[in-house]
Amino acid sequence: MGQRICSPEELEGLARDALTASGASRDAADSLARAVVAAELDGIASHGLAYIPTYCEHLRCGKVRPLAEPRAQATAASAILVDADHGFAHPAIDKGLPLLMEAARSHGVAGMAVRRSYNCGVLGYHTEQLAAAGLVGLGFTNAPASIAPLGGTRPVIGTNPFSLAVPGEHPGEIALLIDQSASVVAKSEVMAHKRRGQPLPAGWALDASGQPTTDPDAALAGSMMPAGGYKGFGSGLMTEVLAAVLAGGALGTQASPFSGTQGGPPGTGQFFLAMDPDSFSGSAFQPAVQGLIAAMDEQPGVRVPGRRRRDNRLRLRQAGIPVASELLDRVQSLVRT
């Protein structure tokens, strides 16, 4: 299978055109296309252009409302509520983030709940925007149930990632970025293995009877393995409480799948916390952050969380983004339909 090297601008335009051809509003298409290219630049191709055919399919089958109008409002001095209107999560989050940042600067801490939402892609993409604005950002998003509790066989929560983004010394700089799911790997990786006809590595998933499996189809019918056993399930449960219960989104057991055409809008949710360092440790904040990073950097072979994404970004902006020719052809065909 051949590849083509594409510029970020080329991929963003292609993604936007495919989404608008499938019925998305220009604002939603712009928001999603930017996030897709960011995922490609970060080296997270599973959440990049490969997702565009699914997004377009969901626009056409009704899982996503093509002309949704997200609404954001302050429900308290430091609480923002966003109704995604069963549209894409990205434009809904974009709508609320300026209000969240303003509230955090005014009150030290602020929270934002997003309900009636959808898959928000790379969660760290959103928390990074908070850190780039000088705030410590925490994000949570729930997903259709795919992880069973330890000892059980029926999934109760989704892969439910959380993300922490910490601002750096200079404006727009990210010092640390943690972005991890409650499962050993993101479910999109299982989907990617299925598309390629490849078996899964051992330890990724269980089948419907609770037995380990390397078959992607059996894994999708069964359960993802929680990272760290009960600890991973616990972090996913925390995310479920914040992004679904507190935000007013659908529980993972109620949400329709993010893949395929079965069911209506998933209705899942997100939750974000923004914290202003000036309201807490103030001038001591950055020296402490840099000291923490130095303690990792002085050890050979240690990778500081978020640095690989930063390095990928720098490299791929210069060298271009490699994309499978077959995927490019598929997305281009969506523009013409």
Active site residues: 46-47, 189
Q: Is the dihedral of CA 40, 43, 46, 47 positive or negative?
A: negative
Any idea what DSSP says for residue 261?
A: S
Pairwise CA distance, residues 164 & 177, whole Å: 6
Contacts for 36 with CB less than 8 Å, ≥ 6 apart: 11, 12, 15, 47, 48, 49, 51, 52, 121
Pairwise CA distance, residues 37 & 81, whole Å: 27
What does the block give as tokens for 5?
């090297």
Contacts for 159 with CB less than 8 Å, ≥ 6 apart: 143, 146, 147, 181, 182, 183, 186, 187, 224, 236
